[in-house]
């Protein structure tokens, strides 16, 4: 049986990160990719220029449309953009009892372009971390510790494990090799981790 994976993230028109990279990675690993877009990002191999966060109701509609119709075996959460979207994602995933969730927090690009509003950090920590099976972070970018610091325990009382991946190594052969550290490096790494984790269970 082929695993169906939902990625919830922003876009990358150059194809090296975000939704586009997730879909390619899922497919390469033999899984079926579905997606819900949180933000439209204008970026290329040189970096991020700007982004527009989508309305929370539309993000919810996308997630519901997928989970109402497709059996989803695992979820990867990438760019959230703001607190309203974090709240919406958490609400819909709880509603659908989603499982095998990898949280791949995206806060800032290598060039210093913020991809997560300040008020969203607490929302991600309080609402999404407790739902996660695994949190990923890249080097030298370190979004995960900032979000996971003082994070609440899971229902079982355990802290969510954090996996560190070598972002530059993961994208060494990518055409987007100079794209922002967090966006380009973590998306394929987290996607690979998620698929491997699911297929091992």
List the chain pLDDT tens, one digit each, 201 residues: 999 999 999 999 999 999 999 999 999 999 999 999 999 999 998 888 999 999 999 999 999 999 999 999 999 999 999 999 999 999 999 999 999 999 998 877 666 667 787 788 899 999 999 999 999 875 444 444 444 444 444 445 555 556 554 443 333 333 333 223 333 344 455 555 555 555 544
CA distance 16 to 177: 8
Q: Residue 142 has what DSSP assignment? A: -
Give pLDDT, residue 188: 53
Give pLDDT, residue 115: 76
Give pLDDT, residue 145: 47
Sign of CA dihedral 20, 32, 137, 80: positive
CB atoms within 10 A of CB 32: 16
Domains of the chain: residue spans and CATH: 4-200 (3.40.1190.20)
Place of tokens 């109402």: 68
Condensed to tens digits (0 to 9), the pLDDT of residues 76-131 reads 999 999 999 999 999 999 999 999 999 998 877 666 667 787 788 899 999 999 99
pTM over 0.85, yes/no: no
Token reading at 81: 């953009």
Q: Residue 114 has what DSSP assignment? A: B
**What does each C-alpha distance from 13 to 41, 87, 93, 130, 176 come to in angstroms?**
7, 26, 27, 31, 11
Give pLDDT, residue 104: 92
CA distance 166 to 199: 22
């Amino acid at each position: 049986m082929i695993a169906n994976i939902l990625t919830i993230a922003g876009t990358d028109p150059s194809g090296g990160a975000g939704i586009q990279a997730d879909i390619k990675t899922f497919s390469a690993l033999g899984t079926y990719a579905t997606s819900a877009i949180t933000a439209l990002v204008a970026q290329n191999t040189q970096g991020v220029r700007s982004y527009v966060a989508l309305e929370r109701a539309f993000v919810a509609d996308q997630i519901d449309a997928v989970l109402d119709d497709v059996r989803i075996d695992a979820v990867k959460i990438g760019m959230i953009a703001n607190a309203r979207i974090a709240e919406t994602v958490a609400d819909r995933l709880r509603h659908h009892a989603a499982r095998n969730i990898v949280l791949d927090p995206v806060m800032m690009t290598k060039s210093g372009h913020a991809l997560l509003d300040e008020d969203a950090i607490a929302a991600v920590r309080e609402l999404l971390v407790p739902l996660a099976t695994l949190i990923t972070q890249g080097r030298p970018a370190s979004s995960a510790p900032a979000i996971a610091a003082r994070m609440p325990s899971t229902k079982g009382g355990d802290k969510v494990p954090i996996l560190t991946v070598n972002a530059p190594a993961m994208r060494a052969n990518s055409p987007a090799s100079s794209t922002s550290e967090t966006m380009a490096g973590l998306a394929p790494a987290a996607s690979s981790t998620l698929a491997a984790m699911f297929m091992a269970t």
